[in-house]
Structure 1
């Protein structure tokens, strides 16, 4: 129950790929549109200020120019003249609510109430034709304010002029807001349409993935046939191909296990049946000599069964897919060959076989499984000792090439006909039915060599005999 709850929690926390794609597509698009709207608003507001600033500058310059022209004509203008000129300018421009204040340095004209005092001092006089713009809030309304100083000309008795002009921007700002609101409506509609199109596109794109999910969920555990998706995108097709490769590998592994179990059951049936028969006969035997003979047969049959079981276990360990739990380590192949040859010398002497080792390489470092490689070379040497005539010779030779190590197990026996050189690597194939062999030795050799990315082949020795030619690559990478 606890595991089920944990699984349910994991299912709840899983994120939807479709939802993630939609979020990462729609949200950035929405952010870009909002940022674009903000930029458009700022640019529009900037243009409104620029237009207002240009108008305020012209208005202030026109009032100051009227004062200057009156001084040149020696007919000083009055405050009424300035106000008349200002009203005419305002009526002509139609710029909305504009207020102004003007003051001359001689004190003759002082119109309006400036927002800040107009002071004629030395620092101001030195700041020729100064203009200052600012945005201010007055009575909760936005105003654009310009203060301008126009220096006079004492030689022409032309006074200096301070002008402050303020324009109410509330109406223009409201118009800008209305424009932005009107523009937002089509943007929202476009956003909705684009979101629907994106959702439809994502859903349609992920449909093959959903189909693949449904195919896997509804498939029986025994069904290892390839998955088939028509018109799938490249990425989904690659996933489907990877799953098909996994299914094919699993099917091959299951078939190999089935064949192995069937072969093992078939091969074990005979020695076990013989062992049972021998024990039944031994139980009926009355004489000590007959009982001893029966027990010797039981021992021989048990020894053969043990040898068969050991061979089957070694074969199972060396098969593809079963090596994942067996580590590969850095090992010296030359030392392994020398040590194994030395260990098998007593057995060779007992069989009157001359066993020798010819290592032309002092060190041969590879990455491999020492237990399996040991089993490989024991099988080769023992097969040679077992099947060649007495007083024969067996030589284990280690050489190297730039990329490979080569181990040759050569004997001077009768050899193997070309027709049988490939068949000896088949499981349970025996050229001769004599002896206690089970026909697995060379099959084990081939499996171990293949698990180490090597090759093995049978060659004819000169003048007669057999060479088992094993090639192992250098610098193996552990799988």
Structure 2
């Protein structure tokens, strides 16, 4: 399971990691510099010591000799921290004096009077060695003088140099870390203030969050939150209006049901009771229809709020099946219902349930508000683009009312029937859900009635 990290932790880690890398690189560089200059200083002393021993190399009777008085050797070896070694050897004679166990380079690889420095070991102790090769002025045997010492002083001086260099750097790192910590906290304080401001708000307060003193980086967040608050406020107002309108629409048929039920209970003849029961049946049908429409609206709202999972549908088949369901109603009202569509499938992406409700509401409007004994035509077209057309030969919709009819619970003044004004609002919701365009024109060729076209986008 993924564990979320705080923004403070992420910022501190991303700011501290480069600082840590720089400190490590600087420490490595400081160690290299301290070691280099320490070796330079003590290598000069070794070289001077080797050159001093070279002064004691003499040629007597064509032989190379080396004579160092014991007191001089004792003075040469004395050191309060390190132990000093030396070795004198010639190319012909070999070892002449000093410490035979001291490592020395091969003479063949050395240049005359040019010093050679290297690290070695003697008695399992690390030493630093300086070697000088020389040839006496009279020529002859080559002599190699090597001087070595243990590395205690070198390590001590390297540590002192590192301490002198690293102490200010450690102090600088601590100061920098403190400023990074305080800087991150100060940078996040507007977010904390914003969170506190939102937490203190009432659940009904959708006023915009003031952002006059908010940093630019946080202002985009406040703008997004304000836009969300505005949408939530609009949604809440819409829902409240919808609930109020729905309650108002439900109240009338419920009141009618109650009155007719009381009438049926008090009826003294079967005919009176039958008449009351017919009214109860009609009111129940209206309630059932209203309930169905409210459920469709809720479903379309739910789909629009979430990512719609549409599938490929055959609009021809869907429209044909829906028209077949309306044939009994059309026969009952003596209305001619026709259907025309291409022989091949006309495919769109959509939700079959709500699309059936869309066509059902269009047919319901055509049946209820069309011409008595008239004609209703349903057409599916595939070219030049996919269209679903429902037309009738009724009185039509006035031009001034064509924009208002898609509002919820709106009915054209003087309209016959007992509709609740949700049918075309549902049609508009479902069309918008499918990114379809609604067009209203005059109806059949006589230029009367209503022609509603639903124009779908390409699948």
Same fold (TM over 0.5): yes
Which consecutive residues of structure 2, in runs of 5 or more, have no partner in the other structure? none
Q: State the distance in 1 between where 2:287 and 2:91 align.
A: 128
Residue of structure 2 equivalent to 1:298? 280
Residue of structure 1 equivalent to 2:200? 218
**TM superposition shift of 1:198:** 1.2
CA 1:82–1:337 in structure 2 vs 1: closer, same or farther (change >3 Å)? farther
Whether contact under 8 Å (2:304, 2:433) holds in the other structure is no
Alignment of 1:416-427 (within 5 A): 416-427=397-408
**TM superposition shift of 1:62:** 8.2
Q: State the distance in 2 between where 1:326 and 1:205 align.
A: 40
CA 1:292–1:391 in structure 2 vs 1: closer, same or farther (change >3 Å)? closer
How high is the TM-score relative to the length of structure 2? 0.83
Provide, for residues 332-362 of structure 1, a one-character-per-residue CA deviation record: whole Å limited to 9, x for no partner. 2222122222332343333333322222473
Whether contact under 8 Å (1:409, 1:467) holds in the other structure is yes
**TM superposition shift of 1:430:** 2.4
Provide, for residues 30-84 of structure 1, a one-character-per-residue CA deviation record: whole Å limited to 9, x for no partner. 34313311221123313443565577568657866986xx66x987664248999
Residue of structure 2 equivalent to 1:308? 290
- Please say if 1:470 is aligned against 2:454: yes
- Equivalent residue for 1:135, pick from 119, 129, 133: 119
Whether contact under 8 Å (2:129, 2:147) holds in the other structure is yes
Whether contact under 8 Å (2:103, 2:122) holds in the other structure is no
Residue of structure 2 equivalent to 1:79? 66
Q: State the distance in 1 between where 2:219 and 2:383 align.
A: 42
- Equivalent residue for 1:245, pick from 206, 211, 227: 227
Residue of structure 1 equivalent to 2:423? 441
How high is the TM-score relative to the length of structure 1? 0.80
CA 1:77–1:450 in structure 2 vs 1: closer, same or farther (change >3 Å)? same
Q: State the distance in 1 between where 2:335 and 2:303 align.
A: 38
CA 1:214–1:125 in structure 2 vs 1: closer, same or farther (change >3 Å)? closer
Residue of structure 2 equivalent to 1:29? 19
**TM superposition shift of 1:418:** 0.4
Whether contact under 8 Å (2:89, 2:97) holds in the other structure is yes
Alignment of 1:222-237 (within 5 A): 222-237=204-219
CA 1:351–1:106 in structure 2 vs 1: closer, same or farther (change >3 Å)? closer
Bigger mean CA offset, 286-295 vs 127-136:
127-136
Residue of structure 1 equivalent to 2:391? 410
Whether contact under 8 Å (2:441, 2:451) holds in the other structure is yes
Q: State the distance in 2 between where 1:382 and 1:109 align.
A: 122
Q: State the distance in 2 between where 1:441 and 1:401 align.
A: 28
Residue of structure 2 equivalent to 1:187? 169
Residue of structure 1 equivalent to 2:326? 344
Alignment of 1:125-164 (within 5 A): 129=111, 133-136=117-120, 143-147=127-131, 158-164=140-146
Q: State the distance in 1 between where 2:231 and 2:266 align.
A: 52
Provide, for residues 7-26 of structure 1, a one-character-per-residue CA deviation record: whole Å limited to 9, x for no partner. xxx9xx97543244334423
- Equivalent residue for 1:384, pick from 360, 363, 366: 366
**TM superposition shift of 1:278:** 1.5
Provide, for residues 108-165 of structure 1, a one-character-per-residue CA deviation record: whole Å limited to 9, x for no partner. 982322334789xxxx676565987443467998631145666899xx7611323222
Matched residue pairs, number? 449
Indicate the SS of the match to 1:395: strand
Indicate the SS of the match to 1:397: strand
Whether contact under 8 Å (2:391, 2:451) holds in the other structure is yes
Whether contact under 8 Å (2:89, 2:145) holds in the other structure is yes
Indicate the SS of the match to 1:473: coil
Residue of structure 1 equivalent to 2:253? 271
CA 1:325–1:295 in structure 2 vs 1: closer, same or farther (change >3 Å)? farther
- Equivalent residue for 1:353, pick from 315, 323, 335: 335
Indicate the SS of the match to 2:282: helix
- Please say if 1:103 is aligned against 2:89: yes
